[in-house]
Structures are given as C-alpha cells and as structure tokens.
Amino acid sequence: MKPENLSFEEAATIPAGGLTALKNLQKANISKGQKILINGASGSLGTFAIQLAKYFGVEVTAVCSEKNFELVKSIGADKVIDYTKEDFTKINEKYDIVYDAVMKSTKAKCKRILKENGIFFKNSQLPKTEEKDLLFLKDIIENGEMKPVIDRIYSIEQIVEAHEYVDKGHKKGNVVIKID
Ligand SMILES: NC(=O)c1ccc[n+]([C@@H]2O[C@H](COP(=O)([O-])OP(=O)(O)OC[C@H]3O[C@@H](n4cnc5c(N)ncnc54)[C@H](OP(=O)(O)O)[C@@H]3O)[C@@H](O)[C@H]2O)c1
C-alpha cells in the first residue's frame, strides 16, 4: 500500500494530513476551473491541499508568511499572501472555496471574498480511512503529482520535543516520529 517512491517517514503523513485534506476538498466539491484560497498553506493540511487543488485543476492562492512563499510556490501555489502583512479577508478577489486549514478565521469574516455560492470550511476530524482514498493518493503520488513536505523527523525518545515544536504552530508541512 505504501507509495513506491516514498520513504516510510514520508508515507506516514498520508493517512493523516493527506487524507484529511483530500476529504475536505471532496466535501467542498472541488472542481476544475475553480479558485481556492488556502489559509495556513504552509502546514501539513495546507501543503497537501495546494497539491491536491492543482491536481483537480484549480487556481490556488496560498496564505502563509513570506518565509514560506518559496515552498508553497514550489508545490503549485499560483498566488501568495503574507498573513503578517495583509488581511486576506479584505482583498478584492472572489473565491469558490476558502479552506481555513489553520483554523484562524470564520465564515462571516470570509463572506466578502466568497462567490455567491462559495464554500468556506475548516478541518473536519480525522476522516474515516477508506482504502479507495488511500489508493487514490498512492496513485497521484506515484505519478509525481503530490509529495509530502517534511519539516523534521524525531525519534520516539524525542516525542516531547516534537510536540513542543508542533505546538508552536509554525511547522512547514509535516513532523514525523520515527519508531525503529
Ligand atoms: N495535520 C493533520 O493531520 C490534521 C488533521 C486534522 C486537523 N488538524 C488541525 O488543523 C490545523 C492545522 O494543522 P497543520 O498540521 O496543517 O498545520 P500547523 O502545524 O498548525 O501549521 C500551520 C502553518 O500555518 C502557518 N500559520 C500559523 N499561523 C497562521 C495564521 N494566522 N495564518 C496563516 N498561516 C498561519 C504556519 O506558518 P508560519 O510559520 O508562517 O506562521 C505553519 O506553517 C491544526 O489546528 C490541527 O490541529 C490537523
């Protein structure tokens, strides 16, 4: 089941961030030609969502801080907004979907930038793991259309340190715990 072109550490991110991003986007009926804004685009869900949205043929605006612009562009973001300098809810654009991956905004705040039937959503709980979804993700990964972004890999002995790092809320992509 592991994608052949991923290490075990990389593959471990797929049933969490990868699957959650996929199920969220599917629930929002993402479809070719749409425009999506992803808030928290440099986190685990954000980096998966950018790549999935591009796979589905959607224009992506990524909201993250400037230090992550290069990262999000390298995985497909078409436009970038630095949340430390600009309030994305005040821009003159309209989106089909606003995905608040970092869970810092609200539907009411995003109303101005949503098209008439636009959809705003935050993260669901970790979705039920279904084989068909994992096989879909495996397929697009093996076709080179998605790759997990790994920030740090910690050993199981460093799990407290790992949680402290993640809890700061500034990781780039995914943090993995390696169990030998
Ligand atoms: N990962 C999963 O599998 C999963 C599954 C379900 C739910 N969740 C929940 O979903 C949320 C996001 O998790 P995550 O793992 O994707 O990311 P995360 O670890 O929360 O990382 C957030 C990323 O967003 C950026 N960020 C921080 N504050 C921001 C703000 N105000 N506006 C825009 N960007 C901001 C950070 O970059 P800067 O350094 O630039 O600030 C960082 O790269 C968390 O609440 C988590 O509990 C996660």
Q: List the chain domain ranges.
A: 8-121
Integer Cα distance of 2 and 174 in angstroms: 17
Predicted local distance difference test score (pLDDT) of residue 58: 98
Name which residue sits closest to atom 36 of ligand 1, judged by CA.
170
Q: What would you report as the CA-atom Rg of the chain, rounded to the nearest whole angstrom?
A: 16
| pLDDT at 125 (0 to 100) | 74
Q: DSSP secondary-structure letter at 131?
A: H
Give the mean model confidence (pLDDT) for residues 39-57: 98
Burial class for 29, CB neighbours closer than 10 Å (0-12, 13-18, 19+) = exposed
User: Distance between CA atoms of 172 and 111, rounded to whole angstroms?
Assistant: 28
Tens-digit pLDDT profile for residues 61-78:
999 999 999 999 999 999
Q: Report the pLDDT value the prediction gives residue 101, as an integer from 0 to 100.
A: 96
The string of pLDDT tens digits covering residues 74-126 is: 999 999 999 999 999 999 999 999 999 999 999 999 999 999 999 999 987 77
CA torsion sign for 61, 67, 72, 77 is positive
User: Is 7 within 8 Å of 148 (Cβ atoms)?
Assistant: no
Mean pLDDT of the chain: 96
pTM score: 0.97
* Choice from 170, 172, 176, 177 to test ligand 1 binding pocket (greatest atom count within 8 A of CB): 170
pLDDT digits (tens, 9 = 90+) for 123-137: 877 778 889 999 999
- Nearest Cα residue to 24 out of 96, 100, 82, 88: 100
pLDDT band at 158 (very low <50, low <70, confident <90, very high): very high
Which CATH superfamily does the domain covering 8-121 fall into? NAD(P)-binding Rossmann-like Domain (3.40.50.720)
